[in-house]
Every structure is written in structure tokens, then in C-alpha cells.
Amino acid sequence: MKTYHLEFEQKLPIPLADAWDFFSSPLNLARITPKEMNFQVTSNYQPDTKMYPGMIITYHVSPVFGIKMNWMTEITHVDEHKYFVDNQVFGPYALWHHQHHFTEIPGGVLMHDILDYAVPYSFVGQIANRVLVNREVNKIFNYRTKAIDDLFGRYVAPK
């Protein structure tokens, strides 16, 4: 199985506790996901529910061509205010391992995402990744960057 590795960083102009509160709530995922993906958390969590190891989150999502899919992830690791990790249990990928790291910096927070993923169907999946999947994953993270800037403002380093 061929795996792919991507990393993304974004600086946020908010306190670490605020960043953690927002990103550790699974219900906020829909707010930073492209609308055309029709992303919907189907797990029955309350708005103030925070992630914990072993938490299972289910979604409906249309990642490509409007095709609706079920997706299930498990939160495997949580170190409060530092990082959490989600792994796909069931969904469109052969592998999805997503680390979310948060580091306090002057004037805000550095958010660092590390994503390792694999596309199913062996050689055909590798072609699909080259033609479509990698571009779509990057598009999702680029959208997320803009959505987060819209929510919290752009980071400006203090002088």
C-alpha cells in the first residue's frame, strides 16, 4: 500500500485554550469544511463535547462528484492543549492518520497538521491520487485555512 504524507501549518491570532476548545469539538468540523462536500457529523454529541481517546465520530460526506459516503474516525490520542490524533475506522481511504498539533507562539498559536493517507485499489488508487485525490485533499486544507482566517482573523506577529 502506497502512503502519502502531507503537512500543513497555520498561525492563529487566538489563545491556545481558545484554539483547543474550537478544534477539539467534533461539531466544529463542518464549519471549516468546503460546503460542496455536504459534511455532516452524524454522531450524537452535544456542542460542548470535547475529544477524548477512544471517541468514535461518524460523518456523512461527499468528497468527490457529490457521491455521499459514510466516514468513521476514532480519536486515538489526546494530550490536552498539545495534540490529538484521528484515524479512519471506515471511509473512503485505505488509511487516514491525521495528527493535529498546537503550539503557543507569541500572539497566538501555531497549528501543525500531519496527514498520512493511502488510497484504496492499489495501482488504480495511485493513479487516482495523482489525478484527483491529492489535489482534493490539498483543496480541503486550503479551504480550511481561509475558513479559519475568516473565523479568527489573520495572524500578525507581535512587534
Q: Where residue 107 sits, what CATH number does that domain have?
A: 3.30.530.20
Q: What is the pLDDT along the chain (159 residues), one digit of tens a residue?
A: 899 999 999 999 999 999 999 999 999 999 999 998 899 999 999 888 989 999 999 999 987 777 898 999 999 999 999 999 999 999 888 999 999 999 999 999 999 999 999 988 877 778 776 777 778 889 999 999 999 999 999 999 998
Number of compact structural domains in the chain = 1
- Its pTM stands at 0.92
Q: Burial, 158: exposed, middle or buried (Cβ in 10 Å; 0-12, 13-18, 19+)?
A: exposed
Pairwise CA distance, residues 127 & 3, whole Å: 13
Instruction: Give the structural domain span for 109.
Output: 4-152
In a domain, residue 44? The reply is: yes
Is 142 a member of any domain?
yes
List, in order, residues 6 or more apart from 148 with CB less than 8 Å away. Answer: 10, 12, 32
Identify whether 106 is part of a domain: yes
112 residue type, one letter: H
* Block residue for cell numbers 469544511: 33
